[in-house]
Amino acid sequence: MKSGWVAVLGGVLVMVVVGALLMVGQRVEEVRVVVTEEKVLEPGVWVFPKEQVRFDARFPRARLTECEALGDGKFGLVVRPENLPVNNSPWFAFQVSCEVERKVVVRLRVQGGNLRYRPKVSVDGVTWVTLTEEAYQQDEAREECVLKLEVGPRALWVAAQELVSTQEMLDWAGALERLPFVQGTTFGRSVGGQRLCRLDVGDVTAERAVVIIGRQHPPETTGSLALMRFVEEIAGDSDLARSFRGQFHCVVVPLLNPDGVDAGNWRHNLGRVDLNRDWKDFAQPETRAVRDQIVALGKAKKLRLMLDFHSTFKDVFYTQSDEAVSSPAGFTRLWLEALETRLPMYEAKREASPVPTPTTSTYWGHHTFGIPAITYEIGDNTDRALLKTVAATAAQEMMRLMLEMKDAP
Ligand SMILES: [Zn+2]
């Protein structure tokens, strides 16, 4: 009993002392103790033990800058670009999982831009589904969106677009290299030391050449999807493709910015530069290397066409105007007309800027070689099956016209 009284008295004493200290504390300054349950295991992983939820951004293409628990299964995520200023293409990609099946609400904020991409989810990183109206809302200013996700032990991938990573593109190139008339080479290194890969399709001794490049801009998945289908058609088994390959040497650089793609950049390479604004200064190793390849090709043979694949808000071809001198003369107009004739439901929109940006690949290609040099843009939301049909048909009509116009001035 005695010891009990001592314990009670002791407890009261402790309470009084703590209370006095708190009162003193409140008078002097507000004391706040923040207890966080967030546990960061290593950069790119956020684990919330109480919620049993984990966010992971440690894979190629991932981008997630900050992550916090807001309570009740809600989480606040922030995505920032690689550096500023930057094009308004906020890329994001992360995985989320939970030890038990549950609903998770993600409040995703982009800093440095406005939301451009409607999030897609995937359980295997291969097949992607766009979030439905019920599962996705964004605010008027397009700076913040809310995602309602069903998560479980198996990681759910969430990304701005299908990933189409550097490895995926290299695998695709590797598969094409197995064809007897395709050669793959490394022609340079990126800032981060990754190999820049080139495919030579068709007769490498042919007098005439066509150049195809792509993925200068990391988020531009639809551009890569179209480029791959376009090149597959040139490497295909049709009489037209065989005939084209017998008379044309086609040089393909499918991925000019492997570092930016893997880093989940919004726009730039690891040198913090927009590669498609570097075709005047050539300050980056990627643009210098590809320029040297094309210049050498242009000295050895007659360049006839340059295509650069990108993505934007709509399908559009950025071309020179019909008045601009280029050889073969009239190719661009005839090509796009032929594409529309073949695909009556498809409008081949063309924008021929009277004041083109003088730092882009196609401006350089046209001005250096006097050839049609066209930026082939695919909409972010263009139906994936349609973009492949258009790409295949555009490749067929390009080959047909190139053969028809091969001696044209
Ligand atoms: Zn682009």
Task: Please list, in sequence order, all residues whose beta carbon lies within 8 angstroms of the beta carbon of residue 403, skipping any fewer than 6 positions away.
Answer: 240, 243, 244, 247, 248
Give 29 Cα–ligand 1 centroid separation in angstroms.
53
Measured in angstroms, how far is the CA atom of residue 3 from the centroid of ligand 1? 78
Give me ligand 1 centre to Cα 271, in Å: 17
Residue 166 has a CB neighbour count (10 Å cut-off) of 23
What are the b/e assignments for 168-180, b being 16+ CB within 10 Å?
Answer: bbbebbeebeeee
Q: How confident is the model at residue 325 (pLDDT cuts 50, 70, 90)?
A: confident
Please tell me the distance between residue 402's alpha carbon and the centre of ligand 1 in angstroms. 26
Residues 399 and 241 sit within 8 Å (Cβ to Cβ): yes
pLDDT of residue 20: 37
Closest CA to 306 of 199, 209, 397, 401: 209
* Å from CA of 220 to ligand 1 middle: 6
d(CA 366, CA 298): 12
Confidence band for 375, pLDDT divided at 50, 70 and 90:
very high
Task: Determine the distance separating the centroid of ligand 1 and the alpha carbon of 254, expressed in angstroms.
Answer: 13
Q: Indicate whether 34 pLDDT > 80.
A: no
The CA-CA-CA angle for residues 7, 10, 12, to 5°, reads 110
3 — pLDDT class (breaks 50, 70, 90): very low
Q: What is d(CA 29, CA 31) in angstroms, rounded to the nearest whole number?
A: 6
Asked if pLDDT for residue 356 goes beyond 90, the answer is no
Task: Give 290-321 pLDDT, tens digit per residue.
Answer: 999 999 999 999 999 999 999 999 999 999 99
Listed residue (231, 222, 272) closest to 253, CA to CA: 231
Q: How far is the CA of 375 from the centre of ligand 1 (A)?
A: 9
CA of 42 to the centre of ligand 1 (A): 32
Average pLDDT over residues 67-93: 96
Count CA atoms closer than 13 A to 188's CA, side-chain side: 18
Q: What is the pLDDT at residue 13?
A: 39
Q: Tell me: pLDDT of 195 over 70.
A: yes
pLDDT at 16 over 50: no
Is the pLDDT reported for residue 22 higher than 80? no
* pTM score, whole prediction: 0.89
pLDDT at 18: 37
- Ligand 1 geometric centre to CA of 312 (Å): 7
Q: How many CA atoms lie within 13 A of 402 on its CB side?
A: 29
Q: Which residues contact 156 (CB under 8 A, 6 or more apart)?
A: 95, 96, 97, 121, 122, 123, 149, 150
- Centre of ligand 1 to C-alpha 66, Å, is 26
The helix/strand/coil state of 110 is: strand
Mean pLDDT, residues 190-210: 98
CB neighbour class for 379 (10 Å; exposed up to 12, middle 13-18, buried from 19)? middle
Read off the pLDDT of residues 167-187 as tens digits, 9 standing for 90 and up: 999 999 999 999 999 999 999
* Domains detected in the chain: 45-159 (2.60.40.3120), 166-404 (3.40.630.10)
CA 310–ligand 1 middle distance (angstroms): 4
Please give the DSSP secondary-structure letter assigned to residue 256: S
Read off the tokens for 80.
Answer: 């920032």
Element (H, E) at 405: none
Q: What is the overall mean pLDDT for the chain?
A: 91
pLDDT (tens digit, 9 = 90+) per residue, 99-143? Answer: 999 999 999 999 999 999 999 999 999 999 999 999 999 999 899
CA of 221 to the centre of ligand 1 (A): 10
pLDDT of residue 39: 58
- Please tell me the distance between residue 213's alpha carbon and the centre of ligand 1 in angstroms: 11
Main-chain dihedrals φ then ψ at residue 355, nearest 5 degrees: -120, 80
The answer on pLDDT for 72 being more than 60 is yes
- Measured in Å, residue 176 CA sits from the centre of ligand 1 at 24
Is the distance from CB of 242 to CB of 201 less than 8 angstroms? no
pLDDT at residue 191 above 50? yes
Identify the CA nearest to 190 among candidates 87, 86, 263.
263
What is the model's pLDDT at position 241? 98
Name the amino acid, one letter, at 155. A
CA 225 to ligand 1 centroid distance, Å: 13
pLDDT of residue 355: 77
Dist. CA 103 → ligand 1 center (Å): 35
State in Å: Cα 276 to ligand 1 middle.
Answer: 7
How much distance in Å is there from the Cα of 262 to the middle of ligand 1?
16
Q: How far is the CA of 116 from the centre of ligand 1 (A)?
A: 14
Q: Ligand 1 center to residue 216 CA distance, Å?
A: 6
CA of 346 to the centre of ligand 1 (A): 22
| Ligand 1 centre distance from Cα of residue 376 (Å) | 9
Question: How remote is the CA of residue 136 from the centroid of ligand 1, in Å?
Answer: 26
Q: By C-alpha distance, which of 146, 332, 153, 314 is closest to 222? A: 314
The CA 212 to ligand 1 mean position distance, Å, reads 14
Six-digit token pair at 146? 């809310």
Contacts of 332 (CB under 8 A, 6+ apart): 317, 319, 320, 322, 326, 350, 372, 374
Among 171, 253, 242, residue whose Cα is nearest residue 202: 242
Residues contacting residue 383 through CB under 8 Å, at least 6 positions apart: none
Q: In what order do the strands lie in the sheet with 120-122?
A: 45-48, 53-56, 93-98, 156-159, 120-122, 129-130
How far, in Å, is the centroid of ligand 1 from the Cα of 214? 9
Strand 350-351: give its sheet, edge to edge: 182-189, 195-202, 248-253, 208-214, 302-312, 373-379, 316-318, 350-351
**Spatial CB neighbours of 181, under 8 Å, sequence gap ≥ 6:** 201, 202, 203, 235, 245
**pLDDT of 391 above 60:** yes
